[in-house]
Structure 1
Amino acid sequence: MKFATWNVNSLKVRLPQVLDWLKATEVDVLCLQELKLADEHFPLQAFVDLGYEASWAGQKTYNGVAIVSRLPGTDVQRNIPGFEDPQRRIIAATLPAPDGPVRVISAYCPNGQSLDSDKYPYKLSWFAALRDWLEQELRAHPRLLVLGDYNVAPHDEDVHDPEKWAGQVLVSEPERRAFNELLGLGLSDAFRLFEQEPKQFSWWDYRQLGFRRNAGMRIDHVLVSDALKSACVSCVIDKEPRRLPQPSDHAPVVAQFDFGA
């Protein structure tokens, strides 16, 4: 099975690209972030026509997440339980898979904007709430995947110019520590389970020819629980959608699992 994550930066704008990509890649589960549309405007029929189901948590103008899957999900959860938040950043569903169901979470983690912004402490508190919830989720669902835009580049190798970015949002020590606390629960960064070429990124700024210069960052991740780690056979960043006209500034990340091997 193929599980993917993609911050599409407006599903309304990027829907044709998403549908074409699904046809070409035939992923089984696609987690989307930054839908930027209200619940009632989610284009469910377009996915149904391709043979997919969907669960979503939309929000007009900003945020919004979805799980698009070949089979319908159950036990759907929107947002982090017990964490009061008007922003729609989390959706989780349990999906059927060989060897047993897999709990899938699509996450759009806060950006933080800058270290002196009030959005930065919100980001850290959000990550703390996510950690506490994931600890509970792992107990209930050992077969767990958390896919999304984390807005954290975990290591300097995930940044095109670490010196230029030093001390800024996305790479600050508290953010990286918050990300590592998720790994400490028993999750692994699927991309780093495999040998990768250097300078592999998933996001490039629209400005200053960021993509053409490969001036990017790896901030989109697939975290896999210990129970599924041995089944993960690859994890790659698909840069092709970023080359399209009017692309998202993010590229999909795809992890493949060989269940029952």
Structure 2
Amino acid sequence: MNDDAMQGLLFGSAEEVVADDVASREMRVLTLNVQGSPATRRDEMLQWLYASECNVLVLTEMRNNDSGNRMIQELESSGFHVVRTRAEPDERYRTVIATKGFEVRGLDTPMATSRLAVARLTAPFGPVDVVGLYSVTNGMSEESSHSRRAFQESFLSAMEAHLRTHSGVPLVLTGDLNVLEPGHRPAVDNFEEHDYDFYRRLCGLGLVDAYRLKQPEGTDLSWYGPKGGQRLDHTFLTSGLVRHLSDCRFMHSVRECRISDHSAMTALLR
């Protein structure tokens, strides 16, 4: 379903969720920062997600509270299998991966944080690991920079270990990575070199920026603040999946209708 069609469904009757048999033909991956999944917008957000007809939902910045738990329950009651890392009481946010129609199991990761979830699913072209990440936000302070850099280093180590341990399984990494690609336009002055280096080092692990691959001149931005927009949400693939990537784009209607402060990002693999 395209973004224009989605616009008309936002406040109408709920669409049926994507059929299980779609998983035998293609992976429709969608990542969205759910902006804390507040109860006031939860039903609209779920309706929007169901209307997308995507069968791999990677949802970041989900609150570790009753509203977040309710959203997970709603996804499960609609036939999605939900994978998430156990959140400790002091962890405010988590990432969840909800899939429909796939054989799927959660995987342990070398990095213990509820901001990271890993699921292995059986796609039409074989097993694929899906890694969902909500990285640390740029708080524009020295303390924030230190925390963000430490998180990035830990994740890179975890990612390298996962790729080494599971070298025969292709991988999709997606989510709100809270970093910009080098040369980002418009230029942003509150990101530091370690942020751009995080992007470069992900590429150095053999990961390919799916959006940039399919939209080499693309100028989409996925989040807007008082000083302008930024492309903070990303999807990366290991090289073995590149030939299966049919499309990668942003769906802006979810942000334009203020269901979230982020646009959704989609990738179609078949």
- TM > 0.5 between the two? yes
Name the residue aligned to 1:251: 263
Greater CA drift, 68-77 or 142-151: 68-77
- Residues 174-201 of structure 1: CA deviation (Å, up to 9, x unaligned): 2101221011001011000113564311
Confirm or deny: 8 A CA contact 2:223 2:229 kept in the other structure: yes
Residue 117 in structure 1 maps to residue 129 in structure 2: no
Partner secondary structure for residue 147 of structure 1: strand
- Residues 136-187 of structure 1: CA deviation (Å, up to 9, x unaligned): 2223153101111011111334x43x1xx22x13xx2221012210110010
Residue 101 in structure 1 maps to residue 133 in structure 2: no
Q: What number of residue pairs does the alignment pair up?
A: 237
- Residues 74-118 of structure 1: CA deviation (Å, up to 9, x unaligned): 1433xx52x5x6x5211111111112111011100112312x422
Name the residue aligned to 1:136: 161
- Residues 195-253 of structure 1: CA deviation (Å, up to 9, x unaligned): 35643111112x5xx7xxxx311010001011111111110000011121x42111110
Distance in 2, matches of 1:144 and 1:203, equals 25
CA RMSD of aligned residues (A): 2.3
1:59 CA drift (Å):
6.6
Greater CA drift, 91-100 or 191-200: 191-200
Name the residue aligned to 2:99: 69
Name the residue aligned to 1:238: 251
Distance in 2, matches of 1:252 and 1:243, equals 11
Partner secondary structure for residue 27 of structure 1: coil
Identity %: 26
Distance in 2, matches of 1:44 and 1:173, equals 36
Greater CA drift, 133-142 or 51-60: 51-60
Distance in 2, matches of 1:107 and 1:127, equals 11
- Residues 7-53 of structure 1: CA deviation (Å, up to 9, x unaligned): 11122334223321232221110101111123882433311333211
Residue 184 in structure 1 maps to residue 204 in structure 2: yes
Residue ranges of structure 2 left out of the alignment (5+ in a row): 1-26
User: Where in structure 1 do 4 or more consecutive aligned residues deviate above 2 Å?
Assistant: 12-15, 37-45, 48-51, 56-62, 195-199
Name the residue aligned to 1:226: 239
Name the residue aligned to 2:38: 12
1:3 CA drift (Å):
0.8
Confirm or deny: 8 A CA contact 1:147 1:223 kept in the other structure: yes
Distance in 1, matches of 2:147 and 2:121, equals 30
Match of 1:34 among 31, 45, 61: 61
Distance in 2, matches of 1:149 and 1:254, equals 13
Confirm or deny: 8 A CA contact 2:212 2:218 kept in the other structure: no
Residue ranges of structure 1 left out of the alignment (5+ in a row): none
Quick one: which amino acid aligns to residue 32 of structure 1?
Answer: L
Confirm or deny: 8 A CA contact 1:143 1:228 kept in the other structure: yes
Name the residue aligned to 1:204: 224
Distance in 2, matches of 1:56 and 1:72, equals 16
Partner secondary structure for residue 38 of structure 2: helix
The change in CA–CA distance for 1:143 and 1:52 in structure 2 (over 3 A counts) is same
Q: Provide the TM-score with structure 2 as the length reference.
A: 0.79
Quick one: which amino acid aligns to residue 215 of structure 2?
Answer: E
Quick one: which amino acid aligns to residue 238 of structure 1?
Answer: M
